[in-house]
Structure 1
């Protein structure tokens, strides 16, 4: 009878501890989310702080709080912090071997924040994946493609790959190539392109627009225009100039030839 009583008391204590642990876990998880969101909002509302650093700090704060919660939950079940440290110390090698990729991502996350090859809101290409940077946390970088598809890049891969940042500089050069027929007036075609560039407010005057014949193709004479603009105007300038040049060529009788082959027959 006494054994059953002790067993019942033990079970009751276990249930009580489980309820306490669940309560601590829920409160801690909620608190971690609230603190993380609060830090993000504070950083976004401050003009003196970088959004990228704020996002990273918010991620660190969240994981620190969750770690404290985990220690508190284990303490409820009688596992003291000193014992936990001893256990973790003994298992460090095994954990390190099992989580090599995760630890690498963590270290790379700090390197990305220190050197900042890209920031939130910039358009980048990381190891062949292109998109706008939406988030940088301890372990991954989140990108959104032009058609709003989410791409998750582990920080270890991002740090070890070639990073192309299309938004780093304030200005970009827009290169456009137009092919005209061999029988067309080259100077006239160049003049049309140059006039359109000079009359487009998005095209910078310094460096001035550059228009030259760059290639004699199989079926066309290729004229390249190199136009400087602000980075945010790059795509609109590229699309707008392409259409404007096509319409101007049609109006002035400059043809854009299709690929073709000329057959020459010689009489015997």
Structure 2
């Protein structure tokens, strides 16, 4: 198709007229966009500083600030396209449909997200606590939105999904300042129980890491076919727990050797078949 000069002039004039008529909307829309981004950044910094001053949990602070940031960005984007003259109702409907589809496809992730929110809000544990959950024990080093990161005693990193973590049993060893060690020592029936209890009590009393209050306990736990089982329960602070656990066993063994007392070895009871 050949265009004559008059048609080209008409198209150019029309384009310039539309551009002149539309330029105020375009300029105001971009002013709103750039000003909005700057204001959102200021609001986000202000909210973060308030939450830090109120000593909120760092994970909760970061999460709430990020949520607020993206909500404000979405509102700004809708305002931007609305200022350009684009119909927003259909756009919002499309976003809603996309959100529903994504939500259905990410049900497991949403469960972990909800679990992370519950953990952050109700705080069954915090960063630095030693917990046992989902069959593993470790120190919490990071609480993320979808997973919680643990470091085990042998320096392994374990990630537990927050959904299963929040719905399962959690043992927090760090909430209380001290713990009790539950030890079992077996002796033969020929051994003087009273003498053995006195030896163990003296061992515990001579260990400065064993707490005086609550007092340690030494008592008969069980009478099996092959041995008398004694329950030894010393108390210690969380920091000294495993040291007290190991020292009690070692010092009791040395004290027994000095007194000529033999620890009864564990004997597995064999099942008797009926003839």
TM-score by length of 1: 0.70
Q: How far, CA to CA, are the matches of 1:158 and 1:60 in structure 2?
A: 21
Tell me which of 92, 113, 135 is aligned to 2:99.
92
The answer (yes or no) to whether the contact 1:131–1:144 under 8 Å persists in 2 is yes
Q: How far, CA to CA, are the matches of 2:70 and 2:225 in structure 1?
A: 65
Aligned counterparts, 1:28-107, within 5 A: 49=55, 53-62=57-66, 82=88, 85-107=92-114
Q: Which residue of 2 aligns with 1:145?
A: 152
- Structure 2, unpaired ranges of 5+: 3-36, 269-275
SS at match of 1:94: helix
CA apart distance, 1:102: 1.6
Shift in CA distance, 105/259, structure 1 to aligned 2, threshold 3 Å: closer
Q: Which residue of 2 aligns with 1:15?
A: none
Task: Using the TM superposition, name which of 183-192 and 216-225 deviates more.
Answer: 216-225
CA apart distance, 1:198: 1.4
SS at match of 1:240: helix
Q: How far, CA to CA, are the matches of 1:110 and 1:140 in structure 2?
A: 11
Q: How far, CA to CA, are the matches of 2:164 and 2:139 in structure 1?
A: 17
The answer (yes or no) to whether the contact 1:190–1:212 under 8 Å persists in 2 is yes
Q: Which residue of 2 aligns with 1:209?
A: 216
TM-score by length of 2: 0.68
The answer (yes or no) to whether the contact 1:220–1:257 under 8 Å persists in 2 is yes
4+ runs deviating over 4 angstroms: 62-76, 80-84
Q: Which residue of 2 aligns with 1:223?
A: 230
The answer (yes or no) to whether the contact 1:204–1:227 under 8 Å persists in 2 is yes
Shift in CA distance, 81/137, structure 1 to aligned 2, threshold 3 Å: farther
CA apart distance, 1:253: 0.6
CA apart distance, 1:85: 3.6
Task: Using the TM superposition, name which of 115-124 and 58-67 deviates more.
Answer: 58-67
Q: How far, CA to CA, are the matches of 1:60 and 1:194 in structure 2?
A: 53
Q: How far, CA to CA, are the matches of 1:181 and 1:226 in structure 2?
A: 20
Tell me which of 117, 123, 133 is aligned to 1:116.
123
- Structure 1, unpaired ranges of 5+: 3-27, 262-268
The answer (yes or no) to whether the contact 2:119–2:166 under 8 Å persists in 1 is yes
Q: How far, CA to CA, are the matches of 1:73 and 1:151 in structure 2?
A: 39
Q: Which residue of 2 aligns with 1:265?
A: none
| Corresponding residue pairs, total | 222
SS at match of 2:203: helix
Shift in CA distance, 154/70, structure 1 to aligned 2, threshold 3 Å: farther
Q: For the pair shown, which has the larger CA radius of gyration, 1 or 2?
A: 2
Task: Using the TM superposition, name which of 198-207 and 149-158 deviates more.
Answer: 198-207
Shift in CA distance, 86/192, structure 1 to aligned 2, threshold 3 Å: same
Kindly provide the CA deviation profile for residues 192-224 of structure 1, in whole angstroms up to 9, marking residues without a partner as x: 100111121122222222111221222221111
CA RMSD of aligned residues (A): 3.4
